[in-house]
Structure 1
Amino acid sequence: MSVRRTALIAWDYPPSASGLAIAAREIAESLVEAGIDVTVYTLDRNGRSEENGVTIVGAVPERAGADGWLRKRMVLGHLVAPRWFARTVAADHAARPFDCLEATNWYAPGALARRLPDLTFVTRHSTPAASTGALNGSLRDRLDGRFACRLEATSARRSHGHIFNTAAHGEKICALYGLDPGAPRAVIGLSLPPERLARASGAAYPHAAGRNNDPVEILFVGRAEVRKGFDCLLGAVDILSRETASGTLPDFRLRLVGIDAGEVAGLAPETGRHVETLGRLSDTALDDAYRRADLVAAPSRYESFGLVYQEALAFGRPVVGLAVDPSARQVIGESRAGLLATEASGPALADVLRPAISDPALRLECHRQALAAAGRFSRRSLSEGTHALYSAARDYRQYQGR
């Protein structure tokens, strides 16, 4: 059954630079390019606007009232945003029905909107809360996280269809949530924005033979989180900085995007000499950082897709990551566009960074493989796969009578 009008629930939307925001825009604009009417509901703004054919609606009420107080409270606070989304979507759905509603699994923003009548609900699965530390910390934090994870699982199990970014990601999510094996599911890779691909196209890589003995530049884009492998990265840099000081390894510099100086203030002086913090960058400044880089370090323990992997490949930059991440094994390992450490530790990451720093020929070969792997996911493949899954989910909902 064809889908002509759809809604997406997103926590935020560009100009926000979060991975979920960028993914939401790619999904929405790819569907618009395929002729589908798309409305995105988000919590990072008020009012209603239109951008590149996408209607964007802020779901935050003008006066939050008691909800604003409750949202900051443990457990039940997780239901406030889903209620705001449900109320806003319901008004538009009553005036002009949507064929389908899509939401991320992350903290289940569509948990209540999925109950709207005559509406197919699809979950596009990102990183689950359980993989971002929601179940760690104090007793209060663990209880709060347990509720959030249960809300995610309940919402996902009642979806009429599921979208995963990679097959390995899908297997993990199905096991974690206990998903209905009969519900339609599809593996659909996300695309990069056309303007970013255009800026990355033809990015030269003059670095393989060295740059007048300048340090080898390693770029990290992310947050100082365990999931992002930041602890492994700092551990590896500490090891390699001592080797550089002894003259057994060429000099290198680690440039950190998204990291402030205070987050690396505890580094030993010899290690800190190799580290430069850049904070948050604009899109054009980030593009320049990719062009300057010899290598991209992306040692995530888990990524549902891996936006940084895709950006690095688009610029033809070799990636050093962790084999424990299924997305890294698929995107980087299978394409041979970089090197993967066998375990999530500083010494293991140092073992793959070492040859990448010292061997220009290895970097050049990985650069060539990165260029060959770039561009596998387009807006056309994204929209075609999404529309097909939406249609299958609608058929499944009608068959199930729910």
Structure 2
Amino acid sequence: MKIVFVIGRLADTSGGAERVLRDISEGLVARGHEVTILSHSRSQTPSRHAFSSAVRHHNLYSSKAPLRVTLAVRLQRAFGSTGLPAGSVQKALFRSRLLPFAAKIARFLDEARPDLCVGFMGEGICALALGRGTRPTSALASLHSAPERLFGTLDGKARLTLDALDGYDAVSFPLQEHISGMEESVRQRAIVLPNPVDLGDGTACAQRSPVVAAVGRLVPLKRFDLLLGAWARCVRDGWMLEIHGEGPERPRLEALVRANGLAESVVLAGHTEDVFSVYRRASVLVHPSRFEGFGLVLAEAMGRGVPVVGFADAPGVRSLIRDQVNGLLVAEPGSEAGLAEALTRLMQDAELRARLGADAPATVEAYRLENALDAWESALVSIAGAVQRSGGISPSPRR
């Protein structure tokens, strides 16, 4: 089967969704499918997630943009998406920026005639919808973040993405819980396609250190400030907290460490190239994030037998953590005291840590690469076959 993935920026990126695209596309090629990726990256720096030569990649970006596109870009840069007039003006500006990309997608589809197209994340979904038009090519819209993050603020990109979904045969999310927050017209075509995760060999490490680990970018969404407040309340008894990641919140977090007298028990370890070594050493993983599209670090840790802690009200976190089965969920939203209680309980109870860690790998087995590929391949073949059998053409996106 000939499959085309369309994504916005791919060069010089290292996000989780881009890694998912790499793993899925590489896996489909290994199973005999022909996969092409169309992107629109101004930078020519390769993606940090290396793709093999078996996956065809075309960067369709051109510096020679039409005047109206240049004006749209300058307006957005000058005022910012939230500073522009609401509604149709924002959407029109974002749409104008995508038109050159969409035109090249249209030409590619006419020449390549793929069996199926996948719009990958918001910009890819919008560009493919515009470029595909009424062509009789089946299409899947693949979303990779929580609806709260995607559509919480209806800026131009969010509005155009919601409109573009109307033109797709199916819409996928990595977790079931994300579907309930969408409109009925989307829910009727929604499917769950698991993100592939490197789960290791499924066995727990015998020798672990008295370390509670946290992994993620140092940004407000991850709530590492809340974690530090909770850590100050914990009965630590020689335990260390290691926060692995970089980002703009580092100076503020460093100040909080000093202000709370935590310098001897907290390490802001920065970015690590070998996050799996962190999971092998740590006895507990804590993930205080407000929400996630998919809690990748949670699944990676659980696959290696690490019990996890998060908040029960956090989308994308609550779907992966099963309270008292593979970790602990803090019931009270954003509670430092509740988080401190859960962490202290795990640090003081080796038997509980061992039980939760031993049961954790089985709870994320669906995300193992081969299992995830089975689900993706089956869905893609089914979508393409259904459209071909009906002879139908999906409706074009609302303008």
Q: TM-score, normalised by structure 1?
A: 0.79
Corresponding residue for 1:186? 191
Question: d(CA) in 2 for partners of 1:123 and 1:110?
Answer: 6
Query: Separation in 2 of the partners of 1:366 and 1:344?
Result: 22
Which residue of 2 is the match for residue 139 of structure 1?
none
For residues 275 and 281 of structure 1, do their structure 2 counterparts lie closer, same or farther at Cα, with a shift above 3 Å needed? same
In structure 1, distance between residues paired with 2:350 and 2:268: 25
1:33 aligns with 2:51: no
When structure 1 is superposed on structure 2, of 325-334 and 44-53 the one drifting more is 44-53
The aligned counterpart of 2:16 is 19
Q: Please state whether the residue corresponding to 1:266 is helix, strand or coil.
A: helix
SS at match of 1:168: helix
- Seen in structure 2, the aligned counterparts of structure 1 residues 269 and 327 have a Cα distance that, compared at 3 Å, is closer
Select the residue among 212, 228, 232 that pairs with 1:238: 232
Output the amino acid matched with 1:96. Answer: A
Task: State whether residues 46 and 60 of structure 1, in contact with CA within 8 Å, keep that contact through their aligned partners in structure 2.
Answer: no
Q: Is the 8 A contact 1:201 1:315 kept in 2?
A: yes
Identity %: 20
Equivalent-residue separation in structure 2 for 1:153 and 1:271 (angstroms): 45
Q: Which amino acid aligns with 1:401?
A: I
Aligned partner of 2:268 in structure 1 is 277
Does the 8 Å CA contact 2:12/2:45 hold for their aligned counterparts?
A: no
Alignment of 1:70-219 (within 5 A): 70-71=72-73, 73=76, 74=81, 75=90, 78-79=94-95, 82-105=98-121, 107-115=122-130, 116=132, 117-128=135-146, 130-131=148-149, 135=153, 145-172=154-181, 174-175=182-183, 178-183=184-189, 185-192=190-197, 196-198=198-200, 202=203, 204-207=205-208, 216-219=210-213
Equivalent residues of 1:129, 1:148 under 8 A apart: no
User: How far does residue 127 in structure 1 lie from its aligned partner after superposition?
Assistant: 1.3
User: What is the match of residue 318 of structure 1?
Assistant: 307
Unaligned ranges ≥5, structure 1: 136-144
Question: C-alpha distance in 1, partners of 2:40/2:251?
Answer: 29
Give the aligned partner of residue 138 of structure 1: none
| Aligned counterparts of 1:350 and 1:99: Cα–Cα separation in 2 | 52
Q: How many Å separate the matches in 2 of 1:287 and 1:15? A: 22
> Is the 2:2–2:116 Cα contact (8 Å) retained in structure 1?
yes
TM-align CA RMSD: 3.1
CA distance in 1, matches of 2:290, 2:319: 14
Aligned-pair CA distance for 1:357: 1.7
The farther-off stretch of 319-328 and 56-65 is: 56-65
Question: Which of residues 231, 239, 247 is equivalent to 1:252?
Answer: 239
Letter in 2 for 1:126: H
State the Cα deviation string for residues 125-182 of structure 1 (Å, max 9, x = none).
22157426963xxxxxxxxx5322212211123221121222212222x24xx43454
Structure 2: unaligned runs, 5 residues or longer: 82-89, 395-399
TM-score normalized with structure 2 length: 0.80
**Cα separation, 2, equivalents of 1:168 and 1:357:** 30
| Contact 1:217 1:253 (8 Å CA) reproduced | yes
Q: How many residues align?
A: 365
Q: How does 1:280-299 map to 2 (within 5 A)?
A: 280-282=271-273, 285-299=274-288
**Secondary structure of the structure 2 residue equivalent to 1:190:** coil
3-state SS, counterpart of residue 212 of structure 2: strand
Mean Cα deviation higher: 329-338 or 389-398: 389-398
The aligned amino acid for 2:95 is: L
Instruction: Tell me the alpha carbon deviations over residues 256-300 of structure 1, each in whole angstroms, 9 at most, x when there is no partner.
Output: 222354241321141344321222221xx2222222211111123
Q: Residue type matched to 1:270 in 2?
A: G
Task: Tell whether the 8 Å contact from 1:299 to 1:322 is kept in structure 2 after alignment.
Answer: yes
